[in-house]
């Protein structure tokens, strides 16, 4: 299942810069992950300072 970004997101952009397939983009107040593009690598979760991305 693709990663999702929770409301804990502080819109810093660290995850988007780390994503190898450019699945993450700036949304309305937080970043969002395109589920169809996400390869479930976990790179976003590894760099997020608040732990917003998760694979639920």
pLDDT at 56: 78
d(CA 36, CA 55): 14
- Domain architecture of the chain: domains with CATH: 4-54 (3.30.70.20)
pLDDT at 32: 98
pLDDT at 30: 97
Report pTM.
0.93
Q: What is the pLDDT of residues 7-56, one digit of tens each?
A: 999 999 999 999 999 999 999 999 999 999 999 999 999 999 999 999 97
d(CA 34, CA 4): 9
């Amino acid at each position: 299942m693709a990663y999702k970004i929770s409301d804990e997101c502080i819109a810093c952009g660290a995850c988007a810069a780390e994503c190898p397939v450019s699945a993450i983009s700036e949304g309305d107040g937080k970043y969002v992950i395109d589920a169809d593009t996400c390869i479930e690598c976990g790179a976003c979760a590894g760099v997020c300072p608040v732990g917003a991305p998760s694979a639920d």
